[in-house]
Every structure is written in structure tokens, then in C-alpha cells.
Chains A and B, each alone.
Chain A
Amino acid sequence: METTSKKSFITGEIMKSSILEAFRKLNPVNMVKNPVLFVVEIGFILVLLLAIFPNMMGDDNGGHLRLYNAIVAVILLVTILFANFAESIAEGRGKAQVQTLKKTNTVTEARVLLSDGTQVMKQANELIKGDIVIVQAGEVIPNDGEVIEGIATVDESAITGESAPVVKERGGDFSSVTGGTTVTSDWLKIEITSLPGESFLDKMIALIEGASRKKTPNEIALNTLLVSLTIIFLLVVVTLYPMTTYLNVDIPVATLIALIVCLIPTTIGGLLSAIGIAGMDRVTQFNVIAMSGRAVEACGDVDTLILDKTGTITYGNRLASEFSPVLGVDKKELIRAAWLSSLTDDTPEGKSILSLAIKLNVDAADEKKIIKTSDPISFTAQTRMSGLDMQNGTKIRKGAYDSIKNRSVAAGHALPKDLEGLVHQVSSLGGTPLVVTENDNILGVIYLKDVVKPGLKERFELLRAMGIKTIMCTGDNPLTAATIAKEAGVDGFIAESKPEDKINVIKEEQAQGKIVAMTGDGTNDAPALAQANVGLAMNSGTNAAKEAANMVDLDSNPTKIIEVVEIGKQLLMTRGALTTFSIANDVAKYFAIIPAMLMVAVPEMGALNVMQLNSPTSAIISALIFNAIIIPLLIPIAMKGVKYKPMSASKLLSRNLLVYGLGGIIAPFIGIKFIDLIIGPILRMMGL
């Protein structure tokens, strides 16, 4: 998955192969799958025959229509090619991804550990579930599995695109490995959990390749509508023929076919499958693998989002947010001591203390010298404190309240009166207090806070505007949970939650008719992931979680569920917008074609020629050209999806109606008039 292909929308290579593919798809066996365009193809063949044998339909003086028929035939052919091209481009982008993936999926041999302890080499495709393999640095993991021994770094860039290697070890949430990824250091003993050809990577390739791309329920429903519209318009035009014959109005067959093609929803019919493929593709571009298109569609309907607190709403680590000195201590003194205590502390907490201190203008001039000359004291489970012993004998410590208190009292110092109050205040806010001492003299408290990721509050607000409720799950006590919930702006929270609580919340919400989405990674999340309508598992998570979910995030970023929901909505919106546009276009086409068609027999029809088009022939051909050209013009929208900003349904509807409904009525009036201005004189020169 090259990063370049993520950005550019079409590469030259995809363009070239798509053009070829567009012609290959003209095969009627293939076209039948798209009934709207199949009708156009039949029309094309008929008109083509009429161009070659103008008198075929028993029209004695059909000869003068030869050129007209030929022009109509060419435009019809181009219409079909444009539609095929759109589909090919969408498929082409997926194919490029598959190529890269396939390259990584070509492991040949694996070192299998037999029960008697001997090692044999086996073909990767002969591995079965339960085989134990040993993979060493530089080797590719042959299939999906669980680490049962060893610790090693693994390069997962082949599937995640993330170049930094990940540590894999036995047990916990980092024990599953994916076939096709490379061990970069040390070695791993792995128990294989997939059959050959059924690995995660294989499934991913199959999905993107479109081999297993089933039409989604909504796509089928929309297709049904389009087919019915096609049948209606076929009926309208086919029955029109005897009526005109009865009235002695002579209409060339090519004109009737042009009328059919203009009226049936060729625009959306031509772009529908491209929209679906591109929608799935957008999810993939986000490094999320959707197991089915149905899951992506369901995303658009989500009413309730269930999010874990840690890692999703807050950073996994607590960060320093405030220094509170005890009475009689200067704040600057506390800051300096806190800074000193963390100089050799590499934990995220320690680093956050440093950066906060620097932000508060601590005197950091002698940093390097202190580090070089001091004795670092690291955190241990017994002491529950860390710090450093400086060259001048000053001992700086920071640590848990109890440990520091005992040490300070033991050293003969009196406890500051307001210390307990400060510590309690921090705890009640949901934070962790760290007490700082200098030579066992207590200076004050560092407030370590659960920090809500920036921008989340605003996003939750947007979600609320879209009608999506957010619920936070956390193991914290209710007080802490309430503080974080308020800060993050979620709609509800479950404190001290156990895994089974999650599934209960999901069931409750579903009983109220809500569609629920959640993210999870642990094995005990699996039932909840399966119960949720949309379950997004982290790639770093266990295989059980990944199996239960209907989407996997390769970057293991739980906040991504929000983007996925938006992509789901956008996919449906693109379909709706282009359908509306396509149907709205018909109004203008009618005003172009109907008067043109009848003007010869009923001159008064000229009154309906509101666009003042050059001639009947020019009107019909202009409408047809517009009908064809609009397809490639809309390919970018089909690929990228319509613009989407979270807002309430009513606002969204008015906006899209204005753009695609009203726009769909007006655009073809302008387009057809414009085309007529250009081709009118040309057609006149050609004698039409």
C-alpha cells in the first residue's frame, strides 16, 4: 500500500488500463448485469444497424437518416464506454492495492516445530491449524497465529502502512500476528490459527479485489428502483410509437431510442457500482478493513457509539496538568523539584512533567550537567517513588502519597497541614496525585490528569448534531468517570464497567431500536463486538476480537470509528445525490426532445421549445451528448463521495436537495443549450 496512491485520485497507469477495460466490458454477457446500460447497448446496436441499413424498418426514404443514425449510434456507444470507464477506474484503484498486498503474501517455506522437538521445513500452504512454527529475524510470518513464546519486533507495514515495527509477545493484547508480516528482531514461536488461503491477508485481498464483493442490500434496493424506472420509460416510449403512428406523426426510430436513453437513469446507473467500490475503497484508504459492504452501510445508520475511555477518549497515559505547593513553599521551588525528579524518568508521565515545567518557565539551563552528574533512582514496586540524588547531596523524590508520607515522617519531618487536602482534591477530580520531596521535605503535589484527546469534545458535539449518542465505558470509579465524561462531552458513561456491562448496554440500546457501534480489542470484548451492529476491532487486538468484529482497524486507532461512520453516511449520500440528480435531469431533456420530436408534424409544438434550440436534430443530439458527458464529469464525485459535514438531517436534506435536486434541474438546461450552440451550426453544415 504505497502512500502515493492514497493521495492521487487516478494514476496514469490506472487510466490506461481502465480505458482498455471499458471496451472489454462492452461484452453483452457483462452488460446484462447492469440493466440500465444494457438497454442503452441494445439501443446502440439497433441504431447502428439503422445506420448501415437505413431502410431496415420498412422506411422507404430512410436513406437521408443514415448520417443522423450514425451520430446517435456513436453517442450511445460513448455513453456506455463512459459508464464502463467509471467502474473500471474504481476497480483499478483497488487492484493497485491488491498488487502490493500479493507481493507480501508469497511466503514459500516455514520452519515447523514437531512435537518431538525437531524442526522441519514445510511449504507454507501446507500448514494447518495448530502447527507450531518458529520465525526468526528477517523471515516472514507464514500465516495468522498467536505467539506462544518469545518476544520480537514485527514489521506490519505491509498491511498497516505503518513503518514503525510493533512488539509482539505471548499473552495480552499483543500476541496475535498476521501472515505476511516480517519479524525484524529476535524470534517468535507461533501457533498457526488459520488455514492456508483463509488468512486475514487473503480475506483482505479477496475483498479489495472485488471477487467477494457482493452488492450491499441498499445498493440492490436502489438498483431495483433504477430498473423499474427503466422499465417505465421503456414502456412510455414503446407505447408512444403506436400513438404517433395513429396520429400520422412520423418519428425516426433513432429519435425514439434517443428519448429512451435520455430518460432512463443512465447517470446513476453508470456510476452506481463505481460509488460502491469507491466507498469500500475509501474505508480501506483509512486503513480499515470492512468485512462486508453491509457493515459500511450500517455505519451510516449508527445511533449510539460505545467508546472505551482509555486510549479512545483519553490518551492511555496520565499527564501532568498542575503543580500545587503546600503552604509556605514557593511554587517555583516545587516546579524546579518536580522537574529535577523527572529528568531521568522516561515514562510518559515523567516526560509530561518535564514539558509542563518547561512551559511554566523552569530554569532548565543546567539540564545536561545535572543528568551527567546525578544518580538516577528508578521506580520500583517496593519504594513506589523515583527521582535522583544530585552531586551536592540533594535528594529529590516524587511518588505515591502513602510511600512519601511514611518516608518523610520516618526522616523526622512534620507533615504540612494542607497536604492531605491537596491530595484529596486531585483524587476527587479523577486525577492521580504525586507528592514531591526535597531531602524528604514535602514541597507539594503534582496533578496527573487523564487528558482528553484534543478536538474530541467538538467531534462529539458534531455527532450529537447528527443524532449520534456517545457512551463512555471505563473501569474508573463513578466520580472519576463523571469528571472525564463531562470534560469529553459524552452523552453517558458506565463506570467500573466489566466486559459484560458493555454487552448489556448494547442490548439495551438495541431494544430501543438503536443501531450501535463500538470498538474493542481484548478477547473479552469479542461478544460485545459481535452483538454490536458495527464492531471495529483493533488490529493489535486478539484474533477472537477480530473474528467477532465486522471491521478491523489496521492502525489500531479506536477514534477512527467516527470517520468510518462518516464514510458510511457519505456512501449512501453519494448514491442518493446522484440518483436525484439523474432523475431531475429528465425535466430538461423532455423540454429538449419532446418539442423537437413533434415539431415536424405539429408546428405549434415550437411553443414548448423553451431553450430555443437550433433545430430538432440538434436538440436531440445535444440532449444525448449531455447525457453521455455528465457521466465522466461526475466520476470524481462518485469516487470521492459528496461533500459531507456533520449536521442535522433536516439541514443536510435541504442542502443536498438544493445542490443535486435543483442543480439537477437547472444544469442540463444550461448544458444542453451550450452544446446546442456549438453543434447546431456544425450539424447544419452537415446538412442535418
Chain B
Amino acid sequence: MSELFAPGTFTPAPGRGQLGRMLLAQAGTETRLALRNGEQVLLTLLIPVVLLVGLSVLRVVPLPEPRVNSVVPSVLALAVMSTAFTSQAIALGFDRRYGVIRRLAATALPRWLLVAGRLAAVLAVVVVQLVILGVVAALLGWRPDAAGLGWALLMVLLGCAAFGALGILLGGTLRAEMVLAVANLVWFVLLLGGGIVIPLDQLPAGIAAVAAALPSGALAEGLRAPLVAGTAPGIGPVLVLVAWAVVAGGVAVKAVRLR
């Protein structure tokens, strides 16, 4: 009877795919989607590059020379926040709206791998950002202290954990439009008042105290020590980022909804 489907086409042969292939397929697709979405690229690459060049070349904020050395930690903190928090929350909000989280949960993909795939996609975009921003900064005369690079990488990972957990919490609980509004508003507020563009020591004392306890301030400060001075980050920023990651991750595990 069937002309389209030869007999035996659908003879059952079920089973779960290999974990590595599942992770690669999901994370690879989510990375490609993030890198070809215009608004997300604006947020994750264009704005950080413009700020990196602008703050290094234009003297709008007083910074020690060479200016680019002070700008790089700010811009890397911004890049991590943009990708792990804002871009990820918005993507998750709309992914839920379009039913893809449920679609993937309906496959053999284990729940933990679903989360791991999203985080892997975030890390992949962050790697792209680090490469592009690193090259642009080098062209602007940035010569980082090699001793600090390992510490900086650790801070980037901690920043991804803290902002990623917050992004999943936000994107996984509110309606897509609300996620869009809140994620962009928080991004803007933390960029200006959260210790990213304006270092903590140049903010008013009250705001600086708050910003130091925020993931934005902690990440930017934690990057300044290794990248500007070539020293280990203070224990403060590390603890702040770990605390945000643990608390937001714990709440997210309970609160995130598939739809």
C-alpha cells in the first residue's frame, strides 16, 4: 500500500546514542545558532569590540597608560556576562517558548547532558570571543603578563559558571518577553554600575561595595589583578563568583521549567 516507505523502513531498532555524539550535536548546533543570530552577535562580539577599541583610544574614562591593559579585563568581563548571562537567558527563554527544551527532553538525551550541552555552547562562544578580543587587543598594543593568563582563564571559567547559572535561572523561569527585557536591563545596569566599565575604585563608595558583591564586579576585579599586575586574583572575587554559581545553580535546579 505504501509507496513512500518501503517495508521494513521503520522496523524498530531503538537505543540511546553515544553521549559524546549527543553532546557534540546539541552544543554544536546551539553554538552555530548563537553565532548566526544578529542580535546575539551584536551583544557578544560587536559591542565588546567597539568598547575595547573605543575605551582604549578615546580618553572618556581616566585610565593608567597603556589604556588597553586596563580596558581588556573590563571587556572580557563584559564578554562573559553577555554570553553566559544575557545571550544565554534570552536564547533559553525563546527556546522554551518554541518547545525545544521539551523536544530534547523527549529524546534519549539525559537531563544533565541537556544542561551540559548548553554550557558547552556558552564556553564555545566564549572561546570565540577570547580569540577575537585577544587579537584586537594585541593590535591595540596589549601585551599581557604571561604569569597572569592562567589565573585569568580560571576567572573566566568562574564567571561563566556564575553568570551561566544566573542566565539559566532567568531564562528558565520567566516568559520569553520578560526574559528579554530583564536580561538586557541587567546587562546595561551591570555594565555601567556593576564594576565593569568603571572599575570599583572609581565608583562611589556605596555603589562600589554593592558592585564588589555582584558577579560583574567580582569578575572584572578578579581579571584586573592577573591581567594588569600579573598576580593571583584576591580570594574575595573568587568567593563571590563561586557563591553566585552555587546559589543560582541550586535555585535553578528547582525552579527551571521545560516550557
A and B are interacting partners: no
Binding site for B on A (CB under 8 A): none
Binding site for A on B (CB under 8 A): none
